[in-house]
Amino acid sequence: MATTACLGPAGGARVEQADASGDGTLRIGLILDNTGPQKFLNAPQLAAAKLAVKEINAAGGHKGKPVELLPEAISADTGAQARALVEAKADVVIGPTDSSRAPAAIDVLANARIAMISPANTASGLSSYRSGGFYFRTSAADIAQAPVLVKLAKDSGAATLAVVYEEGSYGKDLSTAVAAAAQRSGLGSVAVAGFAPGQAQQAAAAVKAAAPDAVVLVSQAGAQGAIAELNNAGVAGTKLILSDGAVNQYGSGLGSSALGGARGILPGTFASAHFQGELVSVDPELADMTFAAETYDAVNVAAVAAAAAEDDAGASIAASLIAVSGGKVQGSGGSGPSGEATVCKSYQECLDVLRAGKRPDYDGESGRIGFDANGDVSSANYVVYTYGADNTATMSGSETAGSNGS
């Protein structure tokens, strides 16, 4: 990336003045990279993007011309998808889902000066990935959930906490953030134990010996085995709090009541009945809403940024996104509007704010966005799940946290 590798993670195109260079047509591309067991995640993102573009065009499109949603493809090769979208003259790209595939897409799109907004990337390291300022995401980094996990422990009356984490970047980063959040909240951290997938017996024994009031499990692929080992060690049910990577519908895959009363969280918000109905009108067979709100908001905030810049080029969109998302506007940079922000919850509302000479602050279906200089959202929303005796989880509440895990 000859033109972007020298630019630091914070700033770049996000805060620089951009000259109008678009061709007058706003083109939005999608990177749908879910295959195999995760392929169900494509449908809600596609339906949400189609819904957003439909509403944008009903409001007059971009500068009186319809916004184009480029034809979608499904492939785990995000680099190839990104190159195809460059050829198709995309101005902004929504995706990918998988954090591990984001760098391949960023490298291509940033070099082509195309804005990119992922609705699902959560890897903490992406905050500092060198994108030249063209990368954003409407989902929070993994570490944002740390204070929520600690709050769930405190809400249950716990005074001491143990953390069991699966080795790897996800487990290491999040477990460190949980321990720090526990210290800030006054909870005693009595044990922090790591394990390799399938080898959680020693970590479970360490937790049993520490006898904490609550145990946070930070895990992904090795979660089921870790829960089983904790259960064997007598640590089960209401003592357990699961990170987002460990939440699943385990059912008979675990011993009876292994998770009865346990709680866990997943990123996102409760989809409103109206939003669900609109999505189903786009795709009558839609059965899952995961990342739909974040995708819908990514499309809308990109279109609002283009409207604020009065230009559809990727650089202009990137330069306006912080301002129109309600983020802190840099004193000397950016092509976006300045001045007092006015909250708006649809493309049409935001257009009305712009026409009134004010700065729009788009808050959508996923909640407040407020991009910062790293392209990260400033707050994170989570849905809380509580497990029954059958080891299945049902939604039971919601929580909000800052995006930096504090």
In 143-207, which ranges are E strands?
Answer: 160-166, 188-195
The residues pairing with 216 across neighbouring beta strands, listed in sequence order, are 163, 241
Distance CA 202, CA 76 (A): 36
Instruction: Please give the pLDDT value at position 10.
Output: 61
Q: pTM of the prediction? A: 0.86
Phi, psi of 238 (to 5 degrees): -65, -15
Q: What is the pLDDT along the chain (406 residues), one digit of tens a residue?
A: 233 333 445 669 998 888 899 999 999 999 999 998 889 999 999 999 999 999 999 999 999 999 999 999 999 999 999 999 999 999 999 999 999 999 999 999 999 999 999 999 999 899 999 999 999 999 999 999 999 999 999 999 999 999 999 999 999 999 999 999 999 999 988 899 999 999 999 999 999 999 999 999 999 999 999 999 999 999 999 999 999 999 999 999 999 899 999 999 988 887 889 999 999 999 999 988 889 999 999 999 999 999 999 999 999 999 999 999 999 866 544 455 667 789 999 999 999 999 999 999 999 999 999 999 999 999 898 999 999 999 999 989 999 988 665 5
Instruction: Please give the pLDDT value at position 320.
Output: 97
Distance CA 10, CA 367 (A): 23
Q: Edge to edge, what strands does the sheet with 379-387 contain?
A: 188-195, 160-166, 214-218, 240-242, 263-267, 379-387, 393-402
Residue 82 DSSP SS3? helix
Distance CA 107, CA 113 (A): 10
The residues pairing with 30 across neighbouring beta strands, listed in sequence order, are 94
Instruction: Please give the pLDDT value at position 17.
Output: 87
Distance CA 67, CA 56 (A): 7
| Residue 297: partners with Cβ closer than 8 Å, 6 or more residues away | 119, 138, 362, 364, 365, 366, 369
b/e burial code for range 325-346 (CB count within 10 A of at least 16 → b): bbbebbeebbbbbeeebbebeb
Please name the amino acid found at residue 213.
Answer: D
Residue 119 DSSP SS3? coil
Distance CA 254, CA 390 (A): 9
